[in-house]
Amino acid sequence: MITSRRHPLVHRIRSLHTTKGRREAGEFLLEGTHLLTEALQQGIPLKSICYTLAWAERHPDVLHQLPPAVAQPVSPQVLDALATTVNPDGVVAIAPIPTAEPALRVGWLHLLGYRLQDPGNVGTLIRTAAAVGVTQLWLTDDSVDPYHPKVLRSAAGQWFRCPPHVCADPLAVLRFYQQKQVQIVATDAQGELVYWQVDWRRPTLLLLGNESQGLPAQWLAAAEQVVRIPQQPGVESLNVAIAAAVCLYEAWRQRWTS
């Protein structure tokens, strides 16, 4: 059992608390039983797993699934140092960050987010995207780190079902979908159409803008449809996660009730 906070593994895991540390190591941190079990179900090759004996007593079924070569008991004090949460539930793990950008795929629904900065918003967006069956979720490289611990927590275990991918060239992504005859829909407060006036049954790429700045003009110009979500006068715009959910569930409604 690891009982010292000076152990090399403790230093390694604590370095994953920061974006710089994650990028340098090519690894990210999973915290809690929910994320761990999702990773195991999805076949993620975990590099190290640290748990307390109290956690092992509460979750013997999960403990038996852990690869013995990477499972390591630690003291409660060490586990507290490894986690970013105030009250960790007793287990953390290290997972590898994919080294290659995945290939673009054409399905029914796709998302591309521009400079999304709030980790809670991005995590909620992932959770909603997984719920409706989004094919791929892309973020520009100046968005929040998709491996940020709060992103993973906010996604409520759905991160692995719809993992966000960082794209270095978002305009190339737009061109790809245009060439594949995928409908491009942008969200904007000044949109000509209300979101329910779009035919969401078509293969669609939904563009989502920065929480305060929205979408750049070049992205709006590339969109086939620009939609708005109606609101009462004087009400601030919806945050990006809620705006996306409204559009995605209208797409779901159209697809499954037509």
Q: Is there a domain that residue 165 lies in?
A: yes
Out of 51-55, 144-148, 188-192, pick the least confident: 188-192
Q: Does residue 91 sit in the same domain as residue 201?
A: no
Identify whether 104 is part of a domain: no
Last residue of a domain, one of 50, 72, 96: 96
Do 83 and 206 belong together in one domain?
no
Parent domain of 37: 8-96
User: CB-based contacts of 160: which residues, under 8 Å, 6+ apart?
Assistant: 38, 39, 41, 42, 44
| Percent of the chain whose pLDDT exceeds 70 | 100
Reported as a single tens digit per residue, the pLDDT across 129-141 is 999 999 999 999 9
Q: Render pLDDT for 149-182 as a digit per residue (tens, 0 to 9).
A: 999 999 988 999 999 999 999 999 999 999 999 9
Query: Same domain for 88 and 150?
Result: no
Residue 102: pLDDT above 90? no
Q: How far apart are CA 167 and CA 92, in angstroms?
A: 28
Beta strand residue intervals within the chain, DSSP E: 27-31, 48-51, 71-73, 91-96, 109-113, 136-140, 164-167, 183-187, 193-194, 204-208, 225-228
SS3 166: strand
* Within-domain flag for 102: no
Report percent pLDDT > 90 for the chain: 90
The verdict on 124 and 92 lying in the same domain is: no
Is there a single domain that holds both residue 121 and residue 205?
A: yes
Average pLDDT rounded to a whole number, residues 94-103: 90
List, in order, residues 6 or more apart from 147 with CB less than 8 Å away.
19, 22, 28, 29, 97
Burial of 95 (0-12, 13-18, 19+ CB in 10 A): buried
Whether the pLDDT of residue 258 is over 80: the answer is no
Q: Tell me phi and psi for residue 51, to 5 degrees.
A: -145, 155
Q: Are residues 129 and 88 in the same domain?
A: no
Q: How far apart are CA 140 and CA 114, in angstroms?
A: 6
Assign 82 a pLDDT band (cuts: 50, 70, 90): very high
State the pTM of this model. 0.92
Q: CATH number for the domain including 80?
A: 3.30.1330.30
Residue 3 lies in a domain: no
Same domain, 116 and 182: yes
The count of domains in the chain is: 2
- Do 130 and 189 belong together in one domain? yes
Q: Are residues 65 and 23 in the same domain?
A: yes
| Same structural domain, 193 and 218 | yes
Looking at residue 200, which CATH number applies to its domain? 3.40.1280.10
